[in-house]
A and B are shown apart, each in its own frame.
Chain A
């Protein structure tokens, strides 16, 4: 018990002391979170009428963000598979960071769903026994189940590994390996179930395609790892945590394959719809070309197409993707491209035109954007704090004191980071500016 308290106290020191850039970053996030909270209070007082959603388009920006982030969370598995199944060491060392990302992402997912509920006060109706979870009929019930399962799994795995390393013990293989193996199908399940949630509805021709689940997985294996590469490059640059080139290049290679499959599946669907040109074409036509002058999504989807294609060619050639400048550009393009395609680009055409062929063009309101920004900030905030504790542990800088009481923080350099270098230029890069070793 005393050990846990010492661990908590040490973690508190780690997350509360940092360079100026770290403070700027954290307080910007806190400001965005507060703005989101205020906007959410406004929504609670007035109802979802403050959003642009209406009966015609009954899901919007919240559910779009949710769908995209489920993919990011699921993609942590891309790191776990080679790390633990194939014992590929360079990735094994960094897989914990992927699991921490999964935890933050799932919390964001749950927040987005909550923001979308008309009656968040009745969330307890979803809890089995005291509530009435419609399992196994409702895919949303499945989603509640697998998301919470995946969250728990990653919390336990990452928490146990870090706590063991903090105690300078080897994690028990007999305990951790089965959990890790189980987290692989769990990750696939969260995205598959989310895809089934859409594709199971005969009423919505745009979603009612069996190709949807494979497409979800393919695009998730692009966006999640792309984000991870960006994080790795930052961590490597600003802390003394070593991440080998080999690991980053391996992930980039996997992204290239995933993007190929993603584009191929999309092409297959686009061909089938446009060549057949049946009544089912209408939503896809709305997405890519607009119908009757309604073109809200058109510039967005073409931006996404351009970004995804460009990124694919960047990642295709090994010599290009090994250039870290191009790698960063590719990752950013993929993240934005998939965000558009698997977010609004997926959800909105399900509702436009609606089931009675009415066209209501949806654009999120300021309130929706503010609440969503607040949730993104929450996720980044949680991820930042978890990295602040995890990286010193993985470095060996934060561990239990030799006398077995209290904790030991070996490297205090991060406390005076502001003096060591001027980090003011890019607050975003300060995610882990803490323990920078090369001044």
Chain B
């Protein structure tokens, strides 16, 4: 049965009983089931925008989220909100001549950042390109599946959020649920996003992903070390994206993003753009740099070397 037919068949599963159940479920939210649970529901509903929270607001919210996630995933889950480090602006480098297209970064990212396993969400998309066609995405193959990589005649380009200096996605958000942090990372407040998906239309890199269904993560696969603006479990109906592993990179001493650590060939580089002595600065100054869709003037902080 095709997807379409399956979807259509689903329509008719909507019986009266199910609908009544739905109404009852909706009503029960208002009916204050138990004091704690109801308080939690109302706290979540009336939660302020991340940037409007006072310190005590934030502490209360983080504690509530930790409580909710810990009970949902049957383990202790930490939700931090480490602020940006002064004098740091992150930049990422990717050496196209080294990348072998193995997609280890894709799955390393999924595990680190608690993406939904069903339906699957990937923050990184690796495309296979033909050497004679160059980086023209018109010839990109998204679902290449050979027995072995790399393949002769091809090269690979991993694409993820480019953390633009002029991000078209944050500009269009009707409720300011997404913005650029001081360290240059574009983040989303998953508790403020209304799920209109205007940012997804505006992003030229396909870097934003929507939770079309409630994300499913097996308890044992959850990464319990999370950040409010990063890899904490997301609710259904909101947009999410790469944050350069904000929960790792803002630590002191900092850690590399998970995709960089997963890369077996050292194609991925990361560092502080404001530090003239950093590896990333040296690479940008000495390598040939390619910016994806440079003509759109989004000014990525993600640099491809070739």
Contact = CB atoms under 8 A, between A and B. Distances in A.
Given A137-B171, A282-B138, A202 B204 contact: yes
Contacts of A203: 168, 201-204, 296
Interface in A106-150: 113, 116-123, 125-126, 131-134, 137-141, 144
A134 B125 CA distance: 30
Contact of A140 (B8, B142, B196): B196
A46 B7 CA distance: 12
A56 B142 CA distance: 12
B7 A50 contact: yes
A204 B138 CA distance: 14
A246 B300 CA distance: 60
Contact of B201 (A44, A59, A118): A59
B192 A122 contact: yes
A208 to B, nearest CB: 10
B202 A201 contact: yes
B19 interface: yes
A347 to B, nearest CB: 10
Given A356-B137, A366-B11, A367-B7, A125 B202 contact: no
A46 to B, nearest CB: 7
B205 interface: yes
Nearest to A370: B11
Given A49-B213, A126-B194, A203-B296, A134 B173 contact: yes
A53 B7 CA distance: 12
Given A39-B14, A134-B175, A44 B197 contact: no
Contact of A47 (B7, B23, B49, B213): B213
A125 B119 contact: no
A55 B175 contact: no
Interface string A17-33: 00000000000000000
A354 B14 contact: no
Contact of A138 (B8, B127, B198, B208): B198
Contacts, number: 175
A117 B140 contact: no
Contact of A123 (B8, B194, B239): B194
Interface string A38-79: 110110111111111111101100000000000000000000
Contacts of A408: none
Interface string B1-19: 0001001101110100011
A116 B212 CA distance: 11
A132 B176 contact: yes
B83 to A, nearest CB: 20
Greatest chain B CB density within 10 A among A54, A203, A282 is at: A203
A117 B22 contact: no
The bracket for how many chain B residues form the interface is: 35 or more
A16 interface: no
A52 B212 CA distance: 10
Greatest chain B CB density within 10 A among A39, A41, A119 is at: A119
A355 B7 contact: no
Nearest to B202: A201
A357 B194 contact: no
Nearest to A51: B212
B237 interface: yes
B51 to A, nearest CB: 9
Contacts of B7: 50, 52, 365-367
Interface residues of A, number: 60
A279 interface: yes
A67 B11 CA distance: 25
A224 interface: no
A349 interface: no
A337 interface: no
Nearest to A358: B142
A44 B22 CA distance: 9
A240 interface: no
B138 A279 contact: yes
A363 interface: yes
B177 interface: yes
B195 interface: yes
A47 B171 contact: no
A300 B237 CA distance: 31
Contact of A354 (B52, B176, B206, B235): B206
Interface in A323-354: 350-351, 354
Nearest to B121: A55
Contact of A366 (B8, B25, B204): B8
A400 B214 CA distance: 55
Given A44-B22, A132-B49, A139-B172, A204 B192 contact: no
B175 A201 contact: no
24 contacts: A41-B19, A44-B22, A48-B195, A48-B210, A55-B208, A55-B210, A59-B201, A113-B196, A118-B236, A118-B238, A119-B237, A120-B194, A122-B175, A134-B176, A138-B173, A140-B198, A197-B198, A201-B202, A202-B168, A351-B201, A355-B203, A355-B205, A357-B140, A365-B11
Closest A-B pairs by Cβ, 8 of them: A118-B195, A118-B237, A366-B11, A203-B204, A49-B213, A140-B174, A49-B212, A365-B7
